[in-house]
């Protein structure tokens, strides 16, 4: 979730056309396409494996303060507390999710090698500071040991609004906020038609990618019977703003259709004068008419539009780029494989065309059925006329070839296919990361829950 910074409001929005043009302004020629990666991790205490609170001399707030002091990050404050860090001269940001999930929103990069370098540098910084505070970080898609009431809460006002609203619209919204962690990649598009094709392919393939990266089989100290508790959680969080919207595959899909979708998703908040105003459940359409009960006569600015877009959670989200959101968090190789897969599939014309041929005959119902079954069945879930595993092997072959064609080499002369290895291993063996963890839990860890966090530490 994005972090709010104080910026000038700008002029009021006068028409829906401005919202559509805002999306169109994201178009970039192929030579300017970049890669943005975001990933989260769970902080835990080394001594008792508990969730780390914000407050205190060894809390998350102190961790943020020390990172700013030692590594040149600039603190972003809310009500006198550091809630995010920005890097001067860079678009990278470190922020906090509701349950303390520590997120790096990486700077846009030209190659996957640069993405790996950024990840390595970030983890080195985090470890250097966290070690002295008795904190480590676990890379899983769902907090494996804590009950919901045991997870620390971060002091961000928008989360208080969301927490209240989530309990009205689904059964798993609080789990989503406090106990899930993800990795996502943000990619560019050239035209509206290019955006539509990429979004359709990415939406259709999300169940396949979710299975390949399934990495959250534990819940409250024991195997849950699921391979991805994170994916399962999203199935009943808030149907108005989550999932795979059917309109994406319908005639007329484009910037305006997505804008109409966003206008119809209930709002969470409006940010004014450094404060979040609770407007949960209200309509952005009414806001554009000056009819918000909480702000009568007030009209939205483009900053309100971008805030609102950040509160939509479809499996692929449109901003001025596309966000692929369907994967569990994991270790460093896992975190690099996700952007490698999507760059290979969406940034290569031949691979994108082949992916479209693979999914174009799928119905929305078939995609949703796969999405419902993947959390428990993983790569064995049905997908079209075959299985998710069949599709995973096909798209990994396409991505591998595409990354070879990019011919971007690291300092050792290796191309970007090296970053696909963890996903290729899952497809080759037919075993998700979650299934490998379950084997370790039974054999190597002898069913000892305390090993879950320790042995998945980054």
- Residue 201 burial (C-beta neighbours within 10 Å; 0-12, 13-18, 19+): buried
Asked whether residue 203 is assigned to any structural domain, the reply reads yes
Helix (H) or strand (E) holding 395: helix 388-406
> Distances from the Cα of 130 to the Cαs of 50, 51, 85, 121, 183, in angstroms?
15, 14, 15, 14, 21
Asked whether residue 114 is assigned to any structural domain, the reply reads yes
Helix axes 302-309, 16-24, angle to 10 degrees: 70
Give tens-digit pLDDT for 110-142. 999 999 999 999 999 999 999 999 999 999 999
Q: How many domains does the chain have?
A: 1
Specify whether the backbone of 134 is left (phi greater than 0), alpha (psi in -120 to 50) or beta: left
User: How far, in Å, CA of 152 to CA of 57, rounded?
Assistant: 15
For residues 166 and 99, is the Cβ–Cβ distance under 8 A? no
Give tens-digit pLDDT for 186-197. 999 999 999 999
pLDDT of 260 reads 98
Tokens of 136: 């480590």
Instruction: Check the CA dihedral 6-9-10-14 and report its sign.
Output: positive
Give tens-digit pLDDT for 358-374. 999 999 999 999 999 99
For residues 96 and 90, is the Cβ–Cβ distance under 8 A? no
Asked whether residue 6 is assigned to any structural domain, the reply reads no
Asked whether residue 395 is assigned to any structural domain, the reply reads yes
Domain CATH for 34? 3.30.590.20
- Name the residue range of residue 80's domain: 16-455
Asked whether residue 101 is assigned to any structural domain, the reply reads yes
Asked whether residue 92 is assigned to any structural domain, the reply reads yes
User: Phi and psi (nearest 5°) for 78?
Assistant: -135, 120
Asked whether residue 11 is assigned to any structural domain, the reply reads no
Instruction: Check the CA dihedral 142-145-151-154 and report its sign.
Output: negative
Asked whether residue 5 is assigned to any structural domain, the reply reads no
pLDDT of 179 reads 98
């Amino acid at each position: 979730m994005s972090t709010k910074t104080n910026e000038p409001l700008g002029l009021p929005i006068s028409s829906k056309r401005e919202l559509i043009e805002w999306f169109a302004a994201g178009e970039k020629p192929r030579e300017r396409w970049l890669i943005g990666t975001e990933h989260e991790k769970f902080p835990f205490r080394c001594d008792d494996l508990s969730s780390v609170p914000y407050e205190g001399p060894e809390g998350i707030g102190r961790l943020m303060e020390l990172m700013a002091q030692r590594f040149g990050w600039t603190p972003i404050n809310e009500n006198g507390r550091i809630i995010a860090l920005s890097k001067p001269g860079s678009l990278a940001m470190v922020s906090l999710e509701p349950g303390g999930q520590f997120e790096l929103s990486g700077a846009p990069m030209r190659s996957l090698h640069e993405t790996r370098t950024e990840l390595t540098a970030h983890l080195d910084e985090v470890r250097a500071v966290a070690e002295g505070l008795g904190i480590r970080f676990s890379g899983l898609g769902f907090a494996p040991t804590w009950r919901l009431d045991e997870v620390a809460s971060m002091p961000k006002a928008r989360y208080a609004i969301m927490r209240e609203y989530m309990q009205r619209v689904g059964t798993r919204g609080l789990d989503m906020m406090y106990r899930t962690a993800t990795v996502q990649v943000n990619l560019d598009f050239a035209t509206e038609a290019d955006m539509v094709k990429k979004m359709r392919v990415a939406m259709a393939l999300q169940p396949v990618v979710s299975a390949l990266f399934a990495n959250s089989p534990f819940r409250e100290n024991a195997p849950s019977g699921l391979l991805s508790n994170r994916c399962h959680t999203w199935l009943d969080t808030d149907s108005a703003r989550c999932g795979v919207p059917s309109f994406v595959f319908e005639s007329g899909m484009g910037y305006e259709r997505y804008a109409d979708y966003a206008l119809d998703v209930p709002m969470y908040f409006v940010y004014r004068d450094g404060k979040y105003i609770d407007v949960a459940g209200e309509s952005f359409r009414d806001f554009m008419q000056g009819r918000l009960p909480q702000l009568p006569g007030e009209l939205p600015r483009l900053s309100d539009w971008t805030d609102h877009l950040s509160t939509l959670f479809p499996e692929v989200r449109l901003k001025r780029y596309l966000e692929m959101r369907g994967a569990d968090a994991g270790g460093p190789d896992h975190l690099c494989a996700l952007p490698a897969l999507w760059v290979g599939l969406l940034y290569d014309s031949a691979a994108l065309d082949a992916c479209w041929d693979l999914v174009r005959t799928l119905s929305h119902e078939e995609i949703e059925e796969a999405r419902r079954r993947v959390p428990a069945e993983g790569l064995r879930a049905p997908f079209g006329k075959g299985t998710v595993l069949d599709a995973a092997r096909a798209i990994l072959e396409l991505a591998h070839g595409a990354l070879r064609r990019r011919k971007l080499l690291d300092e050792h002369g290796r191309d970007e296919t090296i970053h696909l290895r963890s996903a290729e291993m899952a497809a080759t063996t037919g075993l998700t990361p979650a299934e490998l963890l379950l084997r370790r839990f039974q054999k190597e860890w002898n069913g000892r829950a305390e090993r879950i966090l320790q042995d998945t530490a980054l």
